[in-house]
Amino acid sequence: MNNKHVPASLHKLLKTIAPVIVRIRETSAANYMALCRNNRRRLQVIAGLSFCAGLTFFVTLSRMQSATASLGLTTPVLIATSGIKPGDIITTQLFSLRTFPRSAVAPTALHHMQFGLVAQQSISIGELLTTTNTGTSTSKQLQLPAGFRSVAIVPPAALPPMHVGDHVDIIANGVVLATDALVLSLIENTTVVIVAVTAELSAAVASAAAIGDATLVVSS
């Protein structure tokens, strides 16, 4: 614009606010540069956090694999995927095959499907199928008396002849854990014996059975 056509008052005003305009431009430019720097910094922070997250994931995965390996050999077990009632025929739709460390699996756990398997007790979702809560359709099993608990025992040595309904003493490391326990069932083609013991003795008997220390003595 030709200064000759600008009134003196307006020319004076423009001259007065010129430094302000320059300052606004400089401030805007500085803010823009800071914004650019902050954006780069933000991207750098995101990249750093992503790297840390990935490193943490791989370290955790490595530790989990090491922990799994330290547990030793694994074994497949049958896990109920549906609620099963006593007397139900156990089909492949009612369980799934999972793998667990062998040291964490009870000796009574089932490792493969058996033909004619029938639930002997109520089995909840996620519960192991064992020789205690299952049996074959031809298995003979007594009703669990009220106030008693059933425990599966795999004796470490040969057993004397016994039958369902016999009474036995349960011994572990030379200590009598329970007397006059009732034989509920003899699992076919195995050495597993299902016995009924009183509720207050069931924990000690189950612990001895889990580590294979429990044996049975037939009582009169």
Q: Which fold has domain 72-139?
A: Type Iii Antifreeze Protein Isoform Hplc 12 (3.90.1210)
Whether the CB-CB separation of 103 and 71 falls below 8 Å is answered with: yes
Whether the CB-CB separation of 169 and 176 falls below 8 Å is answered with: yes
The total of other beta-carbon atoms located within 10 Å of residue 148's CB is 17
The CA-based dihedral angle spanning residues 219, 122, 191, 180, taken in that order and rounded to the nearest 10 degrees: -10
pLDDT in tens, 41-61: 666 656 767 777 777 877 777
Q: What is the mean pLDDT of residues 184-206?
A: 86
Which candidate, 100, 99, 139, 105, places its Cα nearest to that of 119?
A: 139
In single-letter form, the type of residue at position 44 comes to: Q
* Percentage above 70 pLDDT, the chain: 77
Which candidate, 108, 83, 78, 110, places its Cα nearest to that of 95?
A: 78
Q: Which DSSP string do the residues of 168-194 spell out, in sequence order? A: EEEEETTEEEEEEEEEEEE-TTS--EE
Confidence (pTM): 0.40
Cα–chain center distance at 26: 63
In single-letter form, the type of residue at position 19 comes to: P
Find where tokens 């095959």 sit: 97
Q: What is the mean pLDDT of residues 136-152?
A: 75
pLDDT in tens, 88-141: 888 888 888 888 887 778 888 888 877 778 887 788 898 888 887 887 655 556
Whether the CB-CB separation of 128 and 100 falls below 8 Å is answered with: no
